[in-house]
Structure formats: structure tokens, C-alpha cells
């Protein structure tokens, strides 16, 4: 780490930060609707976004600052294993092509704002809906915290805050300011703020990646040299584990891990509340399908970004905290002003998803806990007020998490969050295609998956950690090492299917399904699917 503050980089960073702050507050006036006091307006941007806004919003949402820091950091640390993010994001799009349009249609028809709204409507079960909502909130919180870790990494490398020698207030002040600003404009502008800022974020990211992927290899003597040096580095034996540091290509034994991680993560991604929030904000069913054909552009960028991990090794970047590898690489290789642009890209890259995630978590709380269990007669205005407040609380919680606890705690929880959120797949995606599953069986399957996943992850040790050392473990019955989330998911599914047979045999009450088959294929313009929705109609019977 260089000593002192990088003044030029910091000035560029602050310039971009101020620019997006102004945009964030102005966003409230963008495409403003008449009825601004409904959750559809604040929490879903009026459900009005077209193909390109949705593309920027989803891209800004799914490819977070943490992704930008963590994926190359994983490559830097161990090589090939970290590249699973690429097949993971390849598999996401054919997958969502099949089920997301159905979710959009049924949500528009019935005014659902969250996935839990849908689950409650489909299965007539508040318990199952609560389980889905709690899982969503639990999985999102550490994710928000990790966005802060992303900002911290950048501030650290610029020489602002983070140091050990100053008192905690000075140290964390830049982070506190960044978060205060984020909280203020999310509160006032809702989903419109991140949608507008996503334009800036993605443009900056694309510029930085394009420059980095051409400029840095030239400076390092071409990709041949980069990979030769990286290969040498991975072959070195780590004294702690007595194994090589990593590999350029996954060995036979780790191929199961690679594949199950890719598949499990792909299945989980659109279970996250923030992905669904961005999806439901789109204007029509077709916007979503069209987006599955243009979103992979981000996957390509992610692949290129991952290659930066090799470049960090070849450039001789030595950091003990792998997450600093890429910011440090930028600082070492780029002129100061462009390093500032790169840091701004990562920093703003944290703000967009953090805003959307806090909105998504707030919507879940408001619709599926506050309205369902605390105040059933809440008006749309109440809902919006509660949601705004909760979005603040969620962010303060995440901040407290990052400032008071060790960073590894946030990472452990994020790892668990991925395993947990995958357990809502049978209720959500299953429910979109069939009503065959029994609501109690789904709940039992969910519980089994959650418990197995948590216990299994707890038991994974690594050289540096006794628990939560990784996300892979031997798959019972197969003997290969695989992603715990996927194993838990299969277990979940088996329990759900078996119990559904049992519960149907004993004629357990099925619950009322308020949806009908044609709801799943409805598009904007059809009868009953108004372009301007009546304020929050879920819960009312249709």
C-alpha cells in the first residue's frame, strides 16, 4: 500500500460521487406519477421502465461492487475456481427466460410487489409467505453490508480512512458520509434514484474494463506473460495447507465443485428480492424476455474483469487481504486521474445495488410482515411510509454490521445467504408453473434445506477459519465435493415432493389459490392489466 492520500484520484472520485448524488435527488422528478404515495411508485418506479432502463437497472443491480472486487480477488487467490462466476451468469439467462415473464404477468394482474406476495396469493398461506420474506430479508442484509466492504476497499487504497492508527470516527467518516447520502436519496426518490445512477455506474465500469483489459496486458508484456507468471505463482506450495496455491485449470477433483457452484448460484440469483424488484419495475412482459438477450453483455464484462486477477499476480501486487488486489492493481498501473475514475466506478457500483437491496428488503417487510401480521388495514400511503423508514433501518443495520464486526462475518453471512435464498426456489418457481405442491410440504422442505445448509456450512473449515471456511462440501451419497446450497436444494425438493404425496393422501387443506391460469401469460394492455395500476391491491381478494 502506498503511503498518504492519492490526491488526484480522490478528487476525481469525489467529483463523480457528487455528480451521482445530485442525480439521486433529482431522480424523484424523473417520470413522476400523479399518485406518488403508493408503494408501486416509490418501491417499483411506477412499474414503468422500458428495455434499456431495465437493462441498466438489472445490470447495476446484479453485478455489484462486491462482485467487481470479489471475483478477481478469488482468481488472485486460487485461480480457475474463481472463474465459476462466468458459467454462473451464462446459465442465469436461459433460466429466467422460462419463469420470469410468468412472475411479471401474475404480479401485474394482482398487484404483487414482492415474491412473498405471490406465494401468499398462490398457496393461500401466510406462513409460507412469511418464510419466503424472512429468508429474503436475511439474505439481503449481509449483501448490503458487503457493498460497504467494496467502498471501504477503494477508500483504503486511496489512503482515506481504513488505517489502523487513527480513531474510529475519522477512520470511518468517509464511509459514513457515503452512506448518509445514499440513504437520503433512496428515501426521497425510491427506485428511480438507483435506476438513474445505474447509467453512470455501468458506463464508468465499461470504460474502465475496456481500458484495463487492453492497457494493462500491454504494460505487462502480453497475455502469454501474464498467464505464465500466474501459473508459476499458483504452483507454489502454500506452507499452511501443503498444497499448491491454486491452478490455471480446475483439476478433475474440483470440477464437481465448479459445476455445482455455477448451477446453484444461477438458480439462486433471481430468488434474491433485489433482482425481483428490478424485474417487476419493467413496463411489460416482453421487456424481460428481451433483456435476457442483452444482459449477457455484463457476463462478458465479468469474464474480462476476472482476468484482472491474473494481471494482479503478474504485476506483482502483494496484498494480504485479497479484496484489495484489484484496487491496488489500478493504483499501480493507471495514471492517478484514471485510477480515480476506476475507483469511482467501484464506489458508485456499490451505491446502486445497496439502494435497490434496501428497497427490496423494505418492501418485503412492509407487505409481508407489517401488512400481513401487524396492521392489515394499512393504506397504500402507510405502506410507502413504513417502507421508506425500513429502507433506512436496513441500511443503518448494515452499516453497524460492517463497522462493529469483522469483515469475515459479513462474508460468512453472504455465503449463508446464497444457500438460504436458494431454498425459496420450489415455492416461487414451482408455484409459477404448478399448484401441485402442497403449501405445508413446501414449508417443510424449506425448513429442511435451511437447517441442512446452515449446519453443513458451519462445519466447513479452512486454513484461516474454523467455521464457514467455504461453500462446498462432500455431497452425501455421491462423494464428490459440491456446493452446499445445491445439495440443500435437492434435499428440499425431495422432502417437498414426498410430503406433498402424503398430505394429498390425507387430504390436508390446500389453501385458496387467488390466481388463475391465464394470469400467468397476461401482458400489458390485456383486460385487467392496467398500465397504471390501482394502488397496492394485493391482499384484497380478486
Partner 1 sequence: MSDAPEVTRGPVVTPVRVVIALCLFAPFVAMLWVGSYAKVDPAFIGIPFFYWYQMLWVLISTALTMVAYKLWQRDQRARKASDGGASQ
**Position 259 contacts partner 1 (CB under 8 A):** yes
Q: Per-residue contact track with partner 1, 475 to 514, x per CB under 8 A?
A: ----------------------------------------
For partner 1 (CB under 8 A), the number of binding residues is 53
**Position 516 contacts partner 1 (CB under 8 A):** no
**Within a 13 Å sphere around the CA of 29, how many CA atoms are in the beta-carbon half?**
4
**Position 281 contacts partner 1 (CB under 8 A):** no
Interface residue with partner 1 among 87, 121, 347, 485 (CB under 8 A) is 87
Interface residue with partner 1 among 258, 270, 343, 440 (CB under 8 A) is 258
**Position 524 contacts partner 1 (CB under 8 A):** yes
**330, 339 Cβ separation under 8 angstroms:** yes
Of 107-115, 128-136, 181-189, 256-264: span binding partner 1 (CB under 8 A):
256-264
Cell of 149: 466492504
CA 4 to chain centre: 33
Q: Concatenated DSSP letters for 457-471?
A: HHT---SS-SSS--S
**Position 287 contacts partner 1 (CB under 8 A):** yes
Question: CA 405 to CA 168: how far, in whole Å?
Answer: 13
Interface residue with partner 1 among 10, 20, 78, 80 (CB under 8 A) is 80
Q: Which of residues 103-122 bind partner 1 (CB under 8 A)?
A: none
- The CB-of-328 to partner 1 minimum distance in angstroms stands at 22
**Position 93 contacts partner 1 (CB under 8 A):** yes
Question: CA 132 to CA 423: how far, in whole Å?
Answer: 9
Nearest residue to 237 via CA among 408, 463, 82: 463
- The CB-of-418 to partner 1 minimum distance in angstroms stands at 18
Radius of gyration of the chain (CA): 23
- The CB-of-455 to partner 1 minimum distance in angstroms stands at 26
DSSP secondary structure letter of residue 535: S
**Position 232 contacts partner 1 (CB under 8 A):** no
**Position 286 contacts partner 1 (CB under 8 A):** yes
Q: Concatenated DSSP letters for 159-219?
A: TSS--SSS-HHHHHHHHHHHHHHHHHHHHHHTTHHHHHHHHHHHHHHHHHHHHHHHHHHHH
- Residue 140 vs 282, nearer CB to partner 1: 282
Cell of 169: 470516527
Of 112-120, 221-229, 348-356, 390-398: span binding partner 1 (CB under 8 A):
221-229
**Position 521 contacts partner 1 (CB under 8 A):** yes
Question: Which residues, 6+ apart, have CB-to-CB distance to 145 below 8 Å?
Answer: 398, 399, 401, 402, 410, 413, 414
Question: CA 472 to CA 511: how far, in whole Å?
Answer: 37
Question: CA 296 to CA 317: how far, in whole Å?
Answer: 30
Interface residue with partner 1 among 31, 289, 385, 435 (CB under 8 A) is 289
As a whole number of Å, the end-to-end CA separation of the chain is 61
Q: Per-residue contact track with partner 1, 381 to 420, x per CB under 8 A?
A: ----------------------------------------
DSSP secondary structure letter of residue 49: B
Directed axis angle between helix 407-422 and helix 484-505, to 10°?
Answer: 40
Q: Which of residues 117-156 bind partner 1 (CB under 8 A)?
A: none
Of 9-17, 187-195, 280-288, 399-407: span binding partner 1 (CB under 8 A):
280-288
**Position 180 contacts partner 1 (CB under 8 A):** no
Coil vs helix vs strand at 474: strand
- The CB-of-301 to partner 1 minimum distance in angstroms stands at 9
Nearest residue to 362 via CA among 328, 390, 385: 390
- The contact set with partner 1 (CB under 8 A) reads 80, 83, 86-87, 89-91, 93-94, 97-98, 222-227, 248-252, 255-256, 258-259, 262-263, 283-287, 289-290, 292-293, 296-297, 299-300, 303-304, 307, 517-518, 521-527
Amino acid at each position: 500500500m502506498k503511503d498518504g492520500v492519492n490526491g488526484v484520484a480522490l478528487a476525481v472520485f469525489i467529483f463523480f460521487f457528487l455528480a451521482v448524488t445530485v442525480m439521486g435527488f433529482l431522480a424523484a422528478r424523473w417520470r413522476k406519477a400523479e399518485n406518488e404515495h403508493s408503494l408501486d411508485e416509490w418501491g417499483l418506479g411506477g412499474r414503468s421502465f422500458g428495455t434499456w432502463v431495465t437493462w441498466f437497472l438489472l445490470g447495476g443491480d446484479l453485478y455489484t461492487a462486491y462482485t467487481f472486487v470479489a471475483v478477481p480477488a478469488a482468481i488472485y487467490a486460487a485461480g480457475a475456481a474463481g472463474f465459476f462466476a462466468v458459467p454462473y451468469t451464462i446459465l442465469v439467462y436461459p433460466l429466467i427466460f422460462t419463469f420470469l415473464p410468468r412472475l411479471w404477468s401474475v404480479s401485474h394482474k394482482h398487484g404483487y410487489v414482492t415474491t412473498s406476495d405471490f406465494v401468499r396469493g398462490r398457496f393461500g398461506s401466510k406462513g409460507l409467505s412469511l418464510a419466503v420474506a424472512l429468508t429474503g430479508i436475511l439474505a439481503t442484509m449481509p449483501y448490503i453490508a458487503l457493498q460497504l466492504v467494496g467502498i471501504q476497499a477503494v477508500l483504503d487504497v486511496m489512503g482515506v480512512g481504513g488505517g489502523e492508527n487513527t480513531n474510529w470516527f475519522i477512520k470511518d467518516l468517509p464511509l459514513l458520509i457515503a452512506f448518509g447520502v445514499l440513504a437520503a436519496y433512496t428515501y426521497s426518490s425510491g427506485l428511480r434514484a438507483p435506476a438513474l445512477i445505474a447509467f453512470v455506474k455501468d458506463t464508468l465500469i465499461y470504460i474502465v474494463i475496456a481500458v484495463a483489459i487492453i492497457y494493462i496486458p500491454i504494460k505487462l508484456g502480453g497475455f502469454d506473460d501474464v498467464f505464465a507468471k500466474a501459473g508459476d505463482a499458483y504452483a507454489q506450495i502454500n506452507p499452511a495447507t501443503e498444497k499448491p496455491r491454486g491452478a490455471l485449470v480446475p483439476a478433475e477433483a474440483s470440477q464437481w465443485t465448479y459445476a455445482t457452484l455455477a448451477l446453484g448460484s444461477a438458480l439462486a440469483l433471481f430468488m434474491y428480492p433485489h433482482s425481483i424488484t428490478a424485474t417487476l419495475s419493467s413496463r411489460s412482459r416482453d421487456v424481460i424476455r428481451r433483456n435476457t438477450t442483452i444482459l449477457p453483455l455484463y457476463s462478458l464484462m465479468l469474464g474480462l474483469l476476472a482476468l484482472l486477477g491474473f494481471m494482479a499476480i503478474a504485476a506483482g501486487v502483494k496484498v494480504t487481504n485479497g479484496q484489495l488486489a484489484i484496487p491496488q492493481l489500478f493504483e499501480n498501473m493507471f495514471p492517478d486521474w484514471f485510477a480515480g475514475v476506476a475507483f469511482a466506478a467501484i464506489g458508485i457500483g456499490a451505491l446502486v445495488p445497496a439502494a435497490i437491496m434496501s428497497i427490496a428488503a423494505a418492501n418485503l417487510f412492509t407487505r409481508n410482515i407489517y401488512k400481513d401480521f401487524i396492521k392489515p388495514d394499512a393504506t397504500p400511503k402507510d405502506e410507502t411510509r413504513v417502507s421508506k423508514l425500513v429502507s433506512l433501518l436496513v441500511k443503518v443495520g448494515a452499516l453497524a454490521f460492517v463497522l462493529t464486526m469483522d469483515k469475515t462475518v459479513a462474508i460468512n453471512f453472504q455465503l449463508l445467504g446464497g444457500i438460504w435464498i436458494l431454498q425459496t426456489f420450489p415455492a416461487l418457481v414451482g408455484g409459477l408453473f404448478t399448484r401441485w405442491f402442497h403449501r405445508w410440504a413446501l414449508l417443510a422442505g424449506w425448513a429442511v434445506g435451511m437447517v441442512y445448509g446452515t449446519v453443513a456450512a458451519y462445519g466447513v473449515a479452512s486454513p484461516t477459519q474454523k467455521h464457514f471456511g467455504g461453500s462446498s462440501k462432500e455431497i452425501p451419497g455421491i462423494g464428490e465435493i459440491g456446493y452446499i446450497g445445491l445439495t440443500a436444494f435437492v434435499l428440499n425438493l425431495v422432502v417437498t415432493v414426498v410430503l406433498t404425496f402424503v398430505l394429498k393422501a390425507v387430504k390436508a387443506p390446500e389453501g385458496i389459490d387467488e390466481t388463475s391460469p391465464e394470469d400467468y401469460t397476461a401482458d400489458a394492455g390485456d383486460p385487467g392489466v392496467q398500465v397504471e395500476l390501482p394502488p397496492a391491491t394485493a391482499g384484497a381478494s380478486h
